[in-house]
Amino acid sequence: MPVPFLRHACQNWSVPAKLDNANTETAFRTCPLCEAGCGLELTLDASRSKVVRTRGDQEDVFSAGFLCPKGTTLGHLHEDPDWLRGPMLKVDGEFREATWDEAFGYINDRMPPLVESNGPDCVAVYMGNPSAHSLAPMFLNRTLLKAVGTKNRFSASTVDQRPKEISAALMFGSVAVPVPDLNRTDYILMLGANPYASNGSLCTAPDFPGRLERIQERGGKVVVVDPRLSETAKKADQHLAIRPGTDAHLLAAIASTLLAEGLADPSNVADHCAGLEELPALLGPFTAQSVAKVVGIPAELIRQVARDLAAAPTACVYGRIGTCTQEFGTLASWLVDVVNILSGNLDKEGGAMFAKGATGQPSTKGKPGSGRGFTMGRANSRVSGLPEAFGEFPVTALPEEIEAQGEGQVRALITVAGNPVSSNPNSLRLDAALASLDFMVSIDPYINETTRHADVILPPPSPLQKSHYDLALLNFAVHNVANYSPPVLGLEPDQLSEGTIMLRLASIFLGAGPDSDTAATDDAIAAMMLGSAVQNPTANVAGRDVEELLELLRPSTGVERLLDILLRTGPYGDGFGSNPEGLSLAVLEANPHGVDLGPLLPGRIPDLLRTPSGKIEIAPELIAKDVERLAKSLARDPEESLVLIGRRHIRSNNSWMHNLRVLTKGRNRCTLQIHPTDAKHAGLTDGKMATVTSRVGSVSLDVEVTEGIRPGVVSIPHGFGQNMEGVRLRIASDYKGVNTNVLTDEYLRDELSGNIALNGVPVSVSAG
Ligand SMILES: Nc1nc2c(c(=O)[nH]1)N[C@H]1C(S)=C(S)[C@@H](COP(=O)(O)OP(=O)(O)OC[C@H]3O[C@@H](n4cnc5c(=O)[nH]c(N)nc54)[C@H](O)[C@@H]3O)O[C@H]1N2
Ligand SMILES: Nc1nc2c(c(=O)[nH]1)N[C@H]1C(S)=C(S)[C@@H](COP(=O)(O)OP(=O)(O)OC[C@H]3O[C@@H](n4cnc5c(=O)[nH]c(N)nc54)[C@H](O)[C@@H]3O)O[C@H]1N2
Ligand code: SF4
Ligand SMILES: [Mo]
């Protein structure tokens, strides 16, 4: 049954097609392309190999028919002639097709000797964004990383959400990120997010825009903080055009206004909060008056937002990429939750709440109410000494780790679902560094800016050929659901599953050779996962026998078996019989539109806390120290230079979907947005070219003069610029776009997390 709060078929971007219904077949499938996880209804033709129509699944328990233009493209991706069908081997600088045995044989000849001579740290691994949307990397990344044994682990997380993960883990003891209760809130303050384009992030909400509109329909208020008049800001009740990189200042001033004006009422969680008494002194320097010039918003407006937040019956603050990828990313992320707590809205209906995903999270495992908490900096990167967090170093360290000679130098790279030459800062430096590697392997379907440097490319099957479950993202959902999709199409005889590819690669590092039997590793992983469940005294399988449970799972194998284990031992699980009404993969298979597990529940605190104190640490030491850096920045002159920010478009998905004509057609979307005053000052004309220059690089692109951006700020979307030599993306390479990360600066980062500051990069512009 569709959930009642959703409007049906909010938008229908279906591919028009005349269908001979007698000969078609319908499949239901969660869209894996972004975090919204919309349910799709796919119609296959008589041959059962071609998608002839894609619509939103009206009966999906979460998306109820909603989809965006990207959701219609799974069939196009499957048929994209540039999507590699088999491995590619680089011989004498040229790619040629190879068999899987050849490809793994070649890796086996090259990798182990490198590791033997230089140690495992000579291999770096980079995991990209689609690995969060695909079951095999979600389950097996750790197996691969452990097999390689390197400390040089990198991922797209440090050009993205790492600051939020760190602030949540410091406060709550694990990555339990509160999400805005969009379905019930009366007031949302949204910073650095544009869900009309992105469909939301760290907040899983199909039809995020529709949910915002319903806040307004029920008399609530949507307030957007963004240097641009984004699509979301246009629809908002109030738009605050903040100066980039100053969200922490703004939020600190809102928090201190709540405290100073006696509006703070954290009573619903105060008993479970440590450090509340430290806040007035910590945030004291950030009054509405003292930050106004830096943030570029009048003091009276800042006070008004604080008062509105406090007065609303329920309210929530939500910050996303704009608040993370900036100089004070961790502080801004922390302050989002500080304001949620001070305004009395954390863990409350209509406020900022915690999802409870069906596959379990650290906050639902182990002893309720306390844990080991979170530590970072257990290792430091070799060259710049950047701190590890969650077992990874910030990606800004990758180029120098490749370039700087000496013990521990990175000489080889494995990329899994990542395109760092497009997505990482100072991309031309990284590009040159990759060209200097001794060996590189990419698990990736395309020859793009990054993988053109690989010696071997191992392509996964298309999304239609994979099963799907949003293992991570449903832990950040605005309504608890579980939804599994089996593969729509089978593998071709010469294709390997992404899981098999990952396990065969891992086996090479484990010394088992290029053609080892992955079934044994697959069994071992399942046994290990069950082993940790039965040893957990609070699990629903505590004390059970692993062999018995493995037997109950037969004949299932692979990622489906691992998913079944998590579901059955998870918070709603059937416990392998102890809770017969509970969830298992079989239950999800019988419910192709998903299972509705109910609205988010309040009162999750203190049980979900995993801090050693068993309290919310509202003023963690690392953060309190970083507030000094924020205070110092109040003295800066904010008008020094033009600054660059990014943006997204609904028809684009990071760097890798520009090869589909159906999405790229229409006007050029990779333009330099600039305010008329700045354009005039620099002599720029709408529709003509401009050159943008930063400390590290320079690009030339079309100018789009618009009132919809703050003076002093320019914007270029990321993910474009596939026209590099050696890229084999016929349509994307023809697109008129540039890579904005040629301009972003790897040394401009959030000091606490090491995360890159992609927003607020000083640039200059000139005509031509
Ligand atoms: N300037 C600027 N830069 C940014 C951002 C920004 O806002 N501004 N945003 C940042 C953010 S939030 C992110 S998440 C990163 C993304 O950074 P990355 O993850 O490095 O890059 P993507 O563009 O997502 O590229 C994904 C890669 O995965 C491959 N791929 C697609 N599907 C699959 C699959 O099923 N399996 C495998 N193995 N590979 C697959 C694609 O071919 C592509 O090579 O970019 C960041 N970079
Ligand atoms: N269509 C589409 N959807 C996507 C993606 C995509 O590439 N295309 N990528 C996916 C990924 S990987 C992610 S992480 C999410 C991201 O999802 P969102 O966080 O919603 O990202 P954006 O749509 O880039 O919106 C960020 C907004 O922040 C603003 N901004 C820039 N700098 C600042 C600042 O300093 N302060 C404030 N307050 N605002 C600022 C920008 O103008 C922009 O409007 O989107 C996901 N969904
Ligand atoms: S919003 Fe995201 S999940 Fe939904 S159809 Fe579009 S790309 Fe797919
Ligand atoms: Mo992202």
Say if CB 483 and CB 60 are below 8 A apart: yes
Q: What is the pLDDT of residues 676-700, one digit of tens each?
A: 999 999 999 999 999 999 999 999 9
Q: What is the pLDDT of residues 712-727, one digit of tens each?
A: 999 999 999 999 999 9
Closest residue by Cα to atom 8, ligand 3, is 71
CA of 208 to the centre of ligand 2 (A): 14
Structure token digits, residue 308 = 């509105």
CA of 128 to the centre of ligand 1 (A): 5
Report the interhelical angle of 498-509 vs 135-148 (nearest 10°): 0
Q: What is the pLDDT of residues 106-164, one digit of tens each?
A: 999 999 999 999 999 999 999 999 999 999 999 999 999 999 999 999 999 999 999 99
Please report the pLDDT score of residue 119 as a whole number. 97
Report, as an integer, the average pLDDT of 733-746. Answer: 96
H/E stretch holding 25: strand 25-30
pLDDT of residue 297 exceeding 90, the answer is yes
CATH class of 1-79: alpha beta
Please report the pLDDT score of residue 3 as a whole number. 34
Structure token digits, residue 706 = 């618009």
pLDDT band for position 244 (cuts 50, 70, 90):
very high
CB 620 near ligand 1, within 6 Å:
no
Say if CB 248 and CB 331 are below 8 A apart: yes
C-alpha 491 chain-centroid distance: 28
Q: What is the pLDDT of residues 617-636, one digit of tens each?
A: 999 999 999 999 999 999 98
pLDDT of residue 398 exceeding 60, the answer is yes
Give me the sign of the Cα torsion angle 595, 597, 600, 606.
Answer: negative
H/E stretch holding 403: helix 398-403
Residue that is written with structure tokens 């023809």 in the block: 734
Residue 536: how many other CB atoms lie within 10 Å: 17
CA of 332 to the centre of ligand 1 (A): 24
CB 195 near ligand 2, within 6 Å:
yes
Please report the pLDDT score of residue 19 as a whole number. 60
Task: Let me know if domain 638-767 sits in CATH 3.40.50.300.
Answer: no
Report the interhelical angle of 162-172 vs 329-342 (nearest 10°): 50
Give me the sign of the Cα torsion angle 610, 614, 618, 619.
Answer: negative
CA-CA distance, 372 to 388, in Å (whole number)? 17
CA-CA distance, 516 to 576, in Å (whole number)? 31
Q: What is the pLDDT of residues 745-757, one digit of tens each?
A: 999 999 999 999 9
pLDDT of residue 15 exceeding 50, the answer is no
Q: What is the pLDDT of residues 510-557, one digit of tens each?
A: 999 999 889 999 999 999 999 999 999 999 999 999 999 999 999 999
CB 445 near ligand 1, within 6 Å:
yes
pLDDT band for position 98 (cuts 50, 70, 90):
very high
- The topology under which CATH files domain 162-359+615-631 is Dimethylsulfoxide Reductase; domain 2 (3.40.228)
CB 36 near ligand 3, within 6 Å:
yes
C-alpha 375 chain-centroid distance: 21
**Residue in 461, 462, 446, 410 with CA at minimum distance from that of residue 724:** 446
CB 419 near ligand 1, within 6 Å:
yes
Q: What is the pLDDT of residues 200-222, one digit of tens each?
A: 999 999 999 999 999 999 999 99
Residue 22: how many other CB atoms lie within 10 Å: 6
Segments making up each domain of the chain, as ranges: 1-79, 162-359+615-631, 638-767
Residues written for the chain: 768
**For 18-22, 195-199, 458-462, which range has the lowest pLDDT when averaged over its residues?**
18-22
Per the DSSP assignment, residues forming a β-bridge with 126 are: 154, 415
Say if CB 380 and CB 620 are below 8 A apart: no
Q: Beta strands 316-319 and 238-240: pairing type?
A: unpaired
pLDDT of residue 353 exceeding 80, the answer is yes
Looking at the CA of residue 128, tell me the nearest atom of ligand 1. 19
Residue 290: how many other CB atoms lie within 10 Å: 17
3-state DSSP percent of the chain in helix, strand and coil, to 5: 35, 15, 50
Closest residue by Cα to atom 5, ligand 3, is 71
pLDDT of residue 7 exceeding 60, the answer is no
CB 482 near ligand 2, within 6 Å:
no
pLDDT band for position 639 (cuts 50, 70, 90):
confident
C-alpha 546 chain-centroid distance: 34
Angle at Cα 520 formed by Cα 514 and Cα 522, nearest 5°?
95
Ligand nearest 759 Cα, by number? 2
**Sequence letter at residue 509:** F
pLDDT band for position 647 (cuts 50, 70, 90):
very high
Looking at the CA of residue 199, tell me the nearest atom of ligand 3. 1
Ligand nearest 74 Cα, by number? 3
Of 68, 199, 225, 226, the residue with max ligand 2 atoms within 8 A of its CB, to mutate for a pocket test, comes to 226
Q: What is the pLDDT of residues 442-452, one digit of tens each?
A: 999 999 999 99
Of 135, 419, 485, the residue with max ligand 1 atoms within 8 A of its CB, to mutate for a pocket test, comes to 419
CA of 758 to the centre of ligand 1 (A): 15
Map residue 311 onto helix, strand or coil. Answer: helix
CB 660 near ligand 2, within 6 Å:
no
Using CA atoms in the order 642, 644, 645, 650, what is the torsion angle rounded to 10 degrees?
Answer: 120
Please report the pLDDT score of residue 10 as a whole number. 37
Ligand nearest 201 Cα, by number? 2
CA of 742 to the centre of ligand 2 (A): 19
Helices (H) and strands (E) in the chain, counts: 25, 26
Ligand nearest 11 Cα, by number? 3
Map residue 649 onto helix, strand or coil. Answer: coil
Please report the pLDDT score of residue 18 as a whole number. 55
CB 159 near ligand 1, within 6 Å:
yes
pLDDT band for position 324 (cuts 50, 70, 90):
very high
- Average pLDDT over the chain, rounded to an integer: 96
pLDDT of residue 572 exceeding 50, the answer is yes
CB 653 near ligand 2, within 6 Å:
yes
CB 133 near ligand 3, within 6 Å:
no
Ligand nearest 650 Cα, by number? 2
